[in-house]
A and B are shown apart, each in its own frame.
Chain A
Amino acid sequence: MAKKIGVYVCHCGSNIAGKVDCEGVADFAKGLKDVAVSRDYQFMCSDPGQEMIIKDIREHGLNRVVVASCSPRLHEKTFQQACARAGLNPYLLQHSCIREHCSWITADPEEATAKAKHIVEAAVERVGRHQELFSREVEVLPDVMVVGAGIAGIQASLDIAKSGHTVHLVEKSPSIGGHMAQFDKTFPTLDCAACISTPKMVAVSQEPNINLMTWSEVEDVSGFVGNYTATVLHKPRYINADVCTGCGACLEKCPTKALSEFDEGLGMRKAIYRNSPQAVPNTPVIDGTICKKITKDKCGICQTICPTGAIDYEMKETREVFHVGSIVLATGYDTMDPTPMAEYGFGKYDEVYTALQFERLNNAVGPTEGRIVMKNGKSPESVAIIHCVGSRDVNYHEYCSRTCCMYALKYDHLIKDKVGHNTNVYNFYIDMRCFGKGYEEFFKRVQEEGVTFIRGRPAEIVQENGKLVVVGEDTLLGMNVRVPVDMVVLCTAMEAQKDMAEVARVFGVAQGQDGFFLEEHPKLGPVSTATDGVFLAGACQGPKDIPDAVAHASGGAAQALALAAKGTVSISPTTSWINPDICVGCKVCVGLCPYSAIEFDDRRQIAVINEAMCKGCGSCAGYCPSGAAQIKHFNENQIFDEIDGLLGLLPGLPEIIDETGAQSVQARNVITPGEPA
Chain B
Amino acid sequence: MNNEFEPTILAFVCNWCTYTAADLAGTSRMVQQPNLRLVRMMCTGMVDPKYIVKSLLSGADGVLVSGCHPGDCHYINGNYKARRRVKLLNEILPQFGIEKERVKLTWVGASEGNEFAATVNNFINEIRELGPMEACSMAVV
Contacts and interface: CB of A to CB of B under 8 A. Distances in A.
B22 interface: yes
A676 B137 contact: yes
A654 interface: no
Interface in B1-55: 1-2, 5-6, 8, 10, 15, 19-20, 22-23, 25-27, 29-32, 34-35, 37-43, 45-48, 50-51, 54-55
Contact of B46 (A101, A622, A672): A622
B34 A106 contact: yes
A622 B48 contact: yes
A114 B6 CA distance: 13
A105 B42 contact: no
Contacts of A615: 75
A664 B55 contact: no
Interface stretch (A280-288, A307-315, A413-421, A631-639): A631-639
Contact of B59 (A623, A636, A647, A674): A647
B59 A592 contact: no
Contact of B58 (A574, A594, A644): A644
B54 A646 contact: no
A642 B54 CA distance: 11
Nearest to A663: B2
A667 interface: yes
Contacts of B38: 97, 101
A676 B136 contact: yes
A664 B2 contact: yes
Interface residues of A, number: 63
B45 A617 contact: yes
B8 A669 contact: yes
B48 A636 contact: yes
Given A510-B76, A594-B76, A647-B8, A118 B141 contact: no
A121 to B, nearest CB: 10
A621 interface: yes
Contacts of B45: 617-619, 622
Nearest to A640: B54
A107 B31 CA distance: 7
Nearest to A529: B76
B32 A106 contact: yes
Interface in A659-677: 663-665, 667-669, 672-677
B75 A114 contact: no
B26 to A, nearest CB: 3
A11 to B, nearest CB: 16
B119 interface: no
Contacts, number: 163
B8 A618 contact: no
Given A530-B76, A617-B46, A619-B81, A105 B37 contact: no
B105 interface: no
A101 B22 CA distance: 7
B23 A71 contact: yes
B2 A105 contact: no
B81 A512 contact: no
Contacts of A674: 135
Contacts of A592: 81
Given A73-B23, A100-B25, A643 B58 contact: yes
B64 interface: no
B10 A646 contact: yes
B46 A112 contact: no
Given A99-B26, A105-B25, A647-B10, A73 B58 contact: no
Interface string A643-662: 11011110000000000000
Contacts of A644: 58, 141
Contact of B22 (A100, A621, A642, A664): A100
A566 B37 CA distance: 41
A648 B55 CA distance: 11
Interface string A104-130: 111110011011001100100000000
A672 B76 contact: no
Nearest to A677: B137
Given A644-B141, A668-B5, A618 B54 contact: no
The contact size tier of chain B is 35 or more
Contact of B37 (A623, A636, A639, A646): A646
Nearest to A112: B34
Contacts of A74: 23
Contacts of A106: 31-32, 34
Nearest to A510: B76
A617 to B, nearest CB: 3
B81 A513 contact: no
A533 interface: no
B51 A639 contact: yes
Nearest to A631: B46
Contacts of A513: 71
A622 B47 contact: yes
Contact of B76 (A518, A616, A623, A673): A518
Contacts of B59: 647-649, 668-669
Contact of A622 (B31, B82, B117): B82
Contacts of B48: 621-622, 636, 639
Contacts of B37: 115, 118-119, 122, 646
B101 interface: no
B8 A668 contact: yes
A199 interface: no
Contacts of A663: 1-2
B13 to A, nearest CB: 10
B78 interface: yes
Nearest to B136: A676
A640 B10 CA distance: 12
B5 A618 contact: no
Interface string A67-100: 0000111100000000000000000000001011
A466 interface: no
Interface of A: 71-74, 97, 99-102, 104-108, 111-112, 114-115, 118-119, 122, 510, 512-513, 518, 521-522, 530, 574, 592, 594, 615-619, 621-623, 631, 634, 636, 639-640, 642-644, 646-649, 663-665, 667-669, 672-677
15 contacts: A73-B20, A97-B26, A105-B29, A105-B117, A106-B34, A118-B37, A522-B72, A574-B42, A594-B76, A615-B75, A618-B43, A619-B46, A622-B81, A667-B6, A676-B137
Interface of B: 1-2, 5-6, 8, 10, 15, 19-20, 22-23, 25-27, 29-32, 34-35, 37-43, 45-48, 50-51, 54-55, 58-60, 71-72, 74-78, 81-82, 85, 117, 132, 135-137, 141
Closest 4 CB pairs between A and B?
A: A618-B46, A100-B26, A617-B75, A675-B135
